[in-house]
Structure 1
Amino acid sequence: MNQEGADRSRRRFLTGAVTVVGGAGAVVTAIPFLSYWQPSARTQAAGAPVEADISQLRPGQRINVEWRGKPVWIFRRSEEDVEQLPELNDRLSDPESKVASQQPPYAQNTARAIKPEIGVLVGICTHLGCSPLFRPEAGSVDAGWPGGFFCPCHGSKFDLAGRVFQGVPAPTNLEVPPYWYPSDGRVIVGEHQDGEAA
């Protein structure tokens, strides 16, 4: 092979090598740039409905899920808790849940729920956005406490249906998110039964 043929082979090899290395470099450089434009899995999931297993939930217990970046409480009330709810009406600001934006139509009842024994609430106080404490035991906040949710930030109180007591800073009941039951032991938060997302 003469000198000219060797130079040509070397040129072809170097051109091919530079093309491969340059292409690989362009791909490596483009990946972070392109991934910047794709929403993260957390962002995609933030608005998506959330499914929770409630098959082991006992009276007085609560589980927490996150939907749209908000804490959602799913808890079980005892039969006595459910029976007591109407007895509290004269102590509440909105016992009949007349503020329509605070719950879907199917939760505009005394228990503010589809199933009276299962509560589903957004765990954010309607005063200034603190997270109330779950205090289901009667007398656990003060002598007249029937059980419910107590906000330690400014003293707002809510019953076990998330209805706000009179004379506290919170202006409205706790929010009930859209939800439904695909089976007895599961609940989907973030959409209505017809599959319509909130």
Structure 2
Amino acid sequence: MTRTSTKHFTREKLLDQGVALIMERGYHGTGLQELLAGVGVPKGSFYNYFASKEEFCAEAIGHYIEPFIQLLEGYLARPGLDALAALKGYFRELIEELERRGYQGGCLLGNLIGEIGDTNPVCRAALRGAVHRYRDTLERGLARAQREGTVRADLDAGVMADLLADAWQGALLRMKVEQSTRPLEACIGGLLDGYFKAS
């Protein structure tokens, strides 16, 4: 492995570990020494990989959201699956995974928006970018469902995508309090099987 690829591999491990720690302890509760120790990186080496804790968190946000976008795009690309069924399948997989994890964590974006969304400009920009990327992917799926005739056409797909993303974040918070997937199921069922569905 070359020095460049080794550095990239270590950087990815730091981001993986950072996402896990931030999910568990929040931005302020995540210490750099603990992060480095978890990956086996020598003390004091953090700044070889990231310019600051803020920039690290901003990159962790992008690192976190990418698999969710890829999973959603994967569902939308499945042959023989219409867009509405793809969206339902995607959210069903997320709900099942959250149930397996015992309702822990929720969403890193929602957690960080609540903790530092209005106080940390670097992370706020990264959060806004991640939320918009996710929302835009939902919009593409809903727009296709409109063309396929399974989702109502009298509402803008972007408006519906905003509502779906916002309602899902709220349902994730409620899930933590209720220790149940019922808020998630009610959110997705109420929108994809109810309000958004073509009559």
* TM-score of the alignment, normalized to the shorter chain, above 0.5: no
Which structure has greater strand proportion? 1
Decide which structure has the larger Cα Rg and report it. Answer: 1
TM-score by length of 1: 0.25
TM-score by length of 2: 0.25
Which structure has greater helix proportion? 2
